[in-house]
Structure 1
Amino acid sequence: MGVEFRNVHKSFDELDGKPRYILEDINLKIETGEFICVLGKSGCGKSTMLNMLAGYLKPDKGRITVDGEDVKGPSAQRGVVFQQHALFPWYTVKENIEFGLKLKKHKNAEVEKIAKQYIDMIGLQGYENAYPAELSGGMAQRVGIARALVNNPQVLLMDEPLGALDAMTRDTMRKELIRIWQISKKTIFFITHSVPEAVYLADRVILLKQGHIAMDTHIELERPRDIRSDKFSEYVDLFSKGLTDGSDMDVIVE
């Protein structure tokens, strides 16, 4: 059944005690295995959506469900990858990936087998015993993705996970992320303010504007996507126009 936001509202109190609505009447259905990008300016509510789906925040009104079950708090069924990888610096690549499995008290042989599977998936064979300080930004973020996937979540939540990387590494990681998604077949809920990134990655782009869903668009492009194609540029133009209204432009149009 996937993920559903049903009539979701969320507000935060201002200094004067009055509520300010960040999200209003959000309705969204996400199919199992879909790659969804939520695109919008800073402050539009996209990270609030992710934090509610993760279970870190509760909606004021409405329901959020995963496979028909209400989200009531954080759960291993929803893995989260943040902008900074947040790896344990005193653990190796292998130990970071194994951490969640050991908390669940898997047998050692099973832990070894699963960790190797995900190290192979992210393409870091030979770096099993490296520490985070010895990795590039892109490599460390791949370990963060593997650590989120290793507990076999139904949904992978990603809050601008490539935003802290340099341009070349970010381009490489976009390709890597698609490869990992195609192998893992997970539902991905990805936050970004980069228009080309959303068009390159997503099955559907959800454009948030002033707390409302302004656009919900399927990307009808074959993979791998050619960023130089006319159709790709048309999608970039479409979302750029939807986002830019002449005020506080902070979206990325690369």
Structure 2
Amino acid sequence: MASQTQKGSSIWETVKTVFWALIIAGIFRTLFFQPFWIPSGSMKDTLLIGDFLFVNKMAYGYSYASCPSIRLGGLDIDAADICGWLDGDNTRILGSEPERGDIIVFRHPVDGTDFIKRLIGLPGDRIQMRGGVLHINGKPVEIEPAGAFVEEFAPQGPMRIRPRCSNGVVGVGADCIKQRFTETLPGGTRHAFLDIGPQRADNTGVFTVPEGHYFFMGDNRDNSTDSRFPQAVGGVGFVPYENLIGRANRVIFSSAGRSMLFFWTWRGDRFFEGLE
């Protein structure tokens, strides 16, 4: 039988192994890639509820937002608690500028929640929606019809969110339809966006993006809380440069069910799919 000393030594070795594994994982997540699970449909059909991806933190350099937030049970440690010494001057270490059209994970400027949206407006840009058409610096972007996006009207993901449809109120299990368009942004980035019909945010005032800030929108235009809505009413508003976390390039895994363990709900056709 093992002696008490041997048992104690074995436990201590296990504790040290777990400790260093957590340190290495924390460094990897802080410097290189952060896992992100898509919880809502604001980026359909580019990103679906249940898509899992890794965010490239090296794309734009590092700020306080690069540090992970830890929220587990009663533990609530914010990124600013760990790396607050980097916060406040809206700069980044080894920073590089994002490009219009990038899909970016960023920290909400007020509550610190992680969001994922598409970068639409750069510093100094004038952004406006007119009749559902995006205008940048006074010019409408080029759009063309791209068919319909059809999904089942049913609760989706762990939050059991029901989609909104352009074909009105439909029953559970019926086809929920949205119109799909392809949009070409200045600089040449082409991407799909969805439309369900006239909405309040289809016509806005002109948003002039401040220096050091960015303007984001979801591809599911009529179902996205983004920079079109001010922070005072729960929107995103303009996002500071230091709040960018990283760029999303590829879906790694996707599950249409309430849990990634429900293998029968896996979307095999989305594994390792590149994002546009």
Please report the TM-score for the alignment, with normalisation by the length of structure 2.
0.24
Larger Rg: 2
The structure where helix makes up a greater share of residues is: 1
Taking CA–CA contacts closer than 8 Å with sequence separation of 6 or more, which of the two structures ends up with the larger relative contact order? 1
